[in-house]
Structure 1
């Protein structure tokens, strides 16, 4: 195995998650009494980095924090999970990003304040170019400025590094960016927002085809309780079922999937196995509280997969999702 094989670079956000648990979501203008409040390390980038590191992969986090207690706590948390934080930037005069998360009815709603994440620039990416060039996989999301995402994707593409773009939160994606992406991993709402085609009925394959036509090699769509689907340019639609588990906290479920997918891709497994590994990581993650605290180890995932080996089977499909 080469020095570069298996190394994952995650470019993205770091937030402190301020999590409030309540019995239901408030109506507009309504005040509810919450049951619990917790402070957890988060941010889609940091969550995905922890997911990768706990799967045993060399993982480098590229992002920014502020000069405050939240920033120090986030860096320490990443390091405790085995993530390489040597290249994290501290932005003076800017607060660390935060996410206000409400948990209710086995679901969540999230408001993000970018802070230092929004202070990243393409010049920062230029300084990170040597680190990106050493990776087998670069994983990136949309909680940092689009010009920074574009610069990082260009740097990876130039170096021949495969890129996984997790298009969250959903927004308009520049055409020159999406053409350089190897894998794009929207959930159902993001796929709808990006393509304008509703994937919840019989439009899943049409939506995926519309996205493939813009340049990525693969679309991998997460479908919640219906598992995941993927399609390669020129290939057939494929699916894998999810696993039935006792859900404690869905925060970070998508990040767990993307981290698991990236780890499996980094060791060159077949795409169906990669998707099934991501599903298993995500299924285990939602059984624990906290986005990063819930990320499972490789040993936990392999044991889970062996117990559930008859679930999550892959198959060709041109059928509806009903």
Structure 2
């Protein structure tokens, strides 16, 4: 999820808990061999054994359409120690598709097979190579063939976003079409798309037949969603998700990391972006968003965050209170 689920949010969300594995933002591969610094920029977790600071493994995602270039970059990336490599055949962005990447490849199953096979041959056997796809480009007519191409190329796992490229991110996600793909392959299939609540997760499992789920924007909007799903699986249905007061220390950590790692013009926007999504789950986030939406100065936002923590009755770090 380019521009949203970066390493900062991965750190914060995995601290909350409930997540087995993360996938990085896609790293675009064109025709050149990327320097190591590019992989480290997208995946700072490579310096921590391929895991977030909370210990959750992170799989690096590559996006591209040329088998040779993808293989060369995958080989270099493999030397840096990711948990695995994931291949993006689902991005619907116009600029990506115009250059033959992402979901555009869902019109060419044979080419998908060549890309996956080239990457699989280029990296050590112990390193997982997985893939993510949508149901198709304009329609789902080639869904089975695309999934089989990924499996034949050597993918060990397949995530299916249950919409076509033409659907974009418009609801609904067609979870009921995933069984067609599951029946066509012998590798694990993970369901993805439009999972915002525990009820969505249960319905997705029922219709898709998939036990494993990938959470995207739903996890960003409700950082306690994975924990709530796990609580339901343990027979603790109705267990409270993460309360707003419990989330605030993570919001503060997020802001600290944003200020440490992003350029000044990007900082306020990243905080507002997350608060905007949090409004779906937390009424308190609406007030917070309204208060901070006109702020751009880092010190002003820091003072606002101190006041927010004080209102919630939480501890305010000395550096913030000074």
TM-score w.r.t. structure 1 length? 0.36
Q: Highest relative contact order (Cα 8 Å, sep 6+), 1 or 2?
A: 1
Higher strand fraction: Structure 1 or Structure 2? 1
Q: Which has the higher helix share?
A: 2
